[in-house]
Amino acid sequence: MNQIETLVRKAEGEVNEASTLKALQEMQVRYLGRHGEFTALLRAIGGLPAEEKPAFGKALNEAKARLENIIEARRAALRKEDETRRHAAEPQDLTMPGRRMRAGLPHVLSQAADRIKAALIGLGFELIETPELELVKYNFTALNYPPDHPAMDDQDTFYVDDDHVMRTHTTPFQGRVFEERRPPFRIFTIGRCFRNEAVDRTHHHTFHQVDAFMVDEGVSMAHLRGTLGAFARAMFGPSVTVRFRPDYFPFVEPGVDFAISCPFCEGEGCVVCKRSGWIELGGAGMVHPDILENYDIDTDRYTGFAFGLGVERIPIMRYRIDDLRLFMENDLRFLEQFQA
């Protein structure tokens, strides 16, 4: 028992004299470690008479706990001293102005996509996601493309193998929807597309599209025109009007290209609209009856419309950007101009 008390007093004195955290740690190992002095006393229990072992073990455990508390208290005091010295060596001037945090911005194309989503969801359309690596049957066959259509040429399409392509447009989502759902529905998708294009100021191998379609009883071109009018006004302002002109797309009949009155000159003619007063946005039309029949949808009961356009067209027109490549070059001098 005297050995225990002597050892605790000796250790306590050395702990209180420790001037660094490192010295304190070394001291803790010397006294309380696996080969420390308290451990040596613990091993000595085996040589004591049986009646003295319980009292000795209890006293030894209490001494170890007491020493551990002393060490922790000294460690806290040393840490506080270190912090005080560090603050004294590196004073903080609380009157100095803070550094402005640099906050990131959504990419200009992400901003355009968010505006498109808000407009179409507001018109009652449901957003779905579809894969960029697409099956040929959805990308072409399901959309009424004839086998010899130029769009299926290797020169225009990135073929991964005989059955898969990097989608050339977002319209393939129609076939996936028709397989899984029955009318009525209003659905749209938005995402990246890929074509084997020579990159220049007006063309890129990677671009973005939005496609939407609606199938229900009694759907007509009037519904398409009304929907595109509401969409265009949400994108470009309340004074915009929509113009239809006949056009051909394999997956719609009849097909139209749709344009809007130039929001910059209000149809008077300017540089943006090339003095025509109109800006073409994309293609549209009534869903081809053959496509509906291929998915066992009764064309005597149901009709539908579809439309699609390039997402890049929105910021190109809104900010008068003259080079498509700028969107993909990650130049912060360009991107930081477009506040969300």
pLDDT of residue 154: 61
Same domain, 201 and 244: yes
- Domain with 238 in it: 110-335
The count of structural domains within the chain is: 2
- The DSSP output letter for 205 is S
Residue 129 backbone dihedrals phi, psi, to 5 degrees: -105, 140
Same domain, 160 and 56: no
Which residues are registered as beta bridge partners of 308? 211, 283
Query: Does residue 100 lie in a domain region?
Result: no
Neighbours of 199 (CB within 10 A): 12
Same domain, 21 and 128: no
The string of pLDDT tens digits covering residues 41-96 is 777 776 777 777 777 777 777 777 888 888 888 888 888 888 888 877 777 777 87
Query: Does residue 167 lie in a domain region?
Result: yes
Instruction: Report the percentage of the chain scoring pLDDT > 90.
Output: 34
The helix (run of H) or strand (run of E) holding residue 255 is strand 252-261
The string of pLDDT tens digits covering residues 232-274 is 888 888 888 888 999 988 888 899 998 888 877 776 777 767 7
Query: Comparing C-alpha atoms, which of 193, 115, 106 is closest to residue 156?
Result: 193
Query: Does residue 96 lie in a domain region?
Result: no
Average pLDDT over residues 16-38: 79
Judged against a pLDDT cut of 70, whether residue 153 lies above it is answered with no
The string of pLDDT tens digits covering residues 129-147 is 999 999 988 988 888 787 7
Distance CA(101)–CA(332), nearest Å, equals: 16
CA 306, 311, 313, 315 dihedral sign is positive
Query: Does residue 43 lie in a domain region?
Result: yes
Average pLDDT over residues 180-208: 90
The end-to-end CA distance of the chain, in Å, is 76
Distance CA(143)–CA(174), nearest Å, equals: 8
